[in-house]
Structure 1
Amino acid sequence: MSMVFTLAPEPEAEAAETGRLLFAGPVEFVKGVVAMPGLPPADRVEVCFAGRSNVGKSSLINALTNRKTLARASNTPGRTQEINYFALGEERYLVDLPGYGFAEAPVAIVRKWQELLKAYLSGRQTLRRAFVLIDSRHGVKAVDDEIMTMLDKSAVTFQVVMTKLDKINKETREKNIEQVKQALQKHPAAYPEIILTSSEKGEGLETLRAVIATLA
């Protein structure tokens, strides 16, 4: 039986408030990690953000946390070469994974990063959900499919967050949402609700905050 994928509904008032309070509280950069032994203690729930280079990951993290420069945005694909940990209050980690599909990075560096990513995804017991960012202008590309397959193999539940929604018209939006739904059919680890966002317009941020805040 195929899974039915839908757009995430707006959160209930209580969940929305829980999300607002979590992200209105302290958010601090903890450390950038280049190897598994450098990870902070697995003493709290964590969520991670993964996405192709230039998908708008830094912009989304900054918009979510109401901080302009928390995550450094770079115009050079593959510039973020670390797993960056942020503390969301006392009980959550928000983890920013290196952008994948490095156009500019040397092969050896890419290989090293793929190995670290695999080790992190399969070995982090406190990881509750991965958010896979998909550029709504392009839909799912082959390199996105690869990361989703890696998440399937690691048995990590992932949820698609479509970014840059303000950059497309209604027709393209509907076509690309349909393409994403079709692409997710073959990924058993995919969570059935897709979150639509625009960092610039603030669309979908309340929903994403609520989802993160209510993950046990």
Structure 2
Amino acid sequence: MSNPFARAKYALSAHNFRQLPPDAGAEVAFAGRSNAGKSSCLNALVQQNALARVSKTPGRTQQLVFFDVAPQKHLVDLPGYGYAKVPQDLQAHWQQFLDGYFSTRDALQGLVVIMDIRHPLKDYDRQMLGYAASRGLPAHAVLTKADKLSRGAAANTLQAVRMELQRLWADTVSVQTFSAESKQGVDELRKVVSFWLQI
């Protein structure tokens, strides 16, 4: 199966509304707490080692970063916070920016929330899924680093998270396990995102 994301390339970074690209076409946003494995997940999706920077310092992404995958089709890397090193006023700015982005962006077709399978559904994850639910957008939870658990433990966590998502948001959030190391779940994630983007 050919990878529709293999030609993905950096387009632009936006720190405020004025810097966003035109609200046209389709885009899928990726969110995740610092160190949840979001950059590794994006890189595995597009089969490139350095499209999304994998940082040793958590919380380095401080803009909405847009990647072109086809004409007027974007992947959007959202800032991953959850670390105290981020100043309060910057957190407030991001809160406002993300609130506005989620409530007004017509091109947004879906949200992927990246969570470490060993620490799923933290407050940030629930907040991001709540954004999608309030807009009526589909969301997909990706439990990364599945290779760090035994198969049985990973399956149990997947089932527990699925039940919790069902309880909170009925059928609007799907979930899968994933490993950037072993490439487990990469095809499944590609199918979800390419369906949302219609590519």
Q: Structure 1 length normalisation: TM-score? A: 0.84
> What's the counterpart of residue 164 of structure 2?
183
Q: CA deviation at 1:37?
A: 1.7
1:74 to 45, 55, 59: 55
Separation in structure 1 between the aligned mates of residue 72 and residue 126 of structure 2, nearest angstrom: 31
Contact 1:129 1:157 in 2 (8 A): yes
> What's the counterpart of residue 189 of structure 2?
208
Q: Which blocks of at least 5 consecutive residues in structure 1 are unaligned?
A: 1-16
Contact 1:86 1:93 in 2 (8 A): yes
**Aligned pair in 2 of structure 1 residues 152, 188: CA closer, same or farther (>3 Å)?**
farther
Q: CA deviation at 1:170?
A: 2.5
Separation in structure 2 between the aligned mates of residue 112 and residue 160 of structure 1, nearest angstrom: 25
Q: CA deviation at 1:181?
A: 1.7
Which has the higher relative contact order, 1 or 2, with Cα contacts under 8 A spaced 6 or more apart? Answer: 1
Contact 1:45 1:91 in 2 (8 A): yes
2:5 to 12, 15, 23: 23
Percentage of pairs with the same residue: 34
> What's the counterpart of residue 51 of structure 1?
32
Which consecutive aligned stretches of 4+ in structure 1 deviate over 4 angstroms post-superposition?
Answer: none
User: 1:37 aligned to 2:50?
Assistant: no
Separation in structure 2 between the aligned mates of residue 110 and residue 102 of structure 1, nearest angstrom: 10
SS of 2:4's partner is: helix
Separation in structure 1 between the aligned mates of residue 78 and residue 17 of structure 2, nearest angstrom: 13
Equivalent residues in 2 for 1:108-119, closer than 5 Å: 108-119=89-100
Contact 1:151 1:189 in 2 (8 A): no
1:106 to 53, 67, 87: 87
Q: CA deviation at 1:47?
A: 0.5
SS of 2:13's partner is: strand
Code of the aligned partner of 1:152: A
Separation in structure 2 between the aligned mates of residue 213 and residue 101 of structure 1, nearest angstrom: 29
User: 1:197 aligned to 2:156?
Assistant: no
2:78 to 80, 97, 121: 97
Separation in structure 1 between the aligned mates of residue 84 and residue 156 of structure 2, nearest angstrom: 27
Please report the RMSD computed on the Cα atoms of aligned residues, expressed in angstroms: 1.7
Contact 2:36 2:144 in 1 (8 A): yes
SS of 1:74's partner is: coil
Q: CA deviation at 1:135?
A: 1.0
Contact 1:53 1:101 in 2 (8 A): yes
Q: CA deviation at 1:123?
A: 1.0
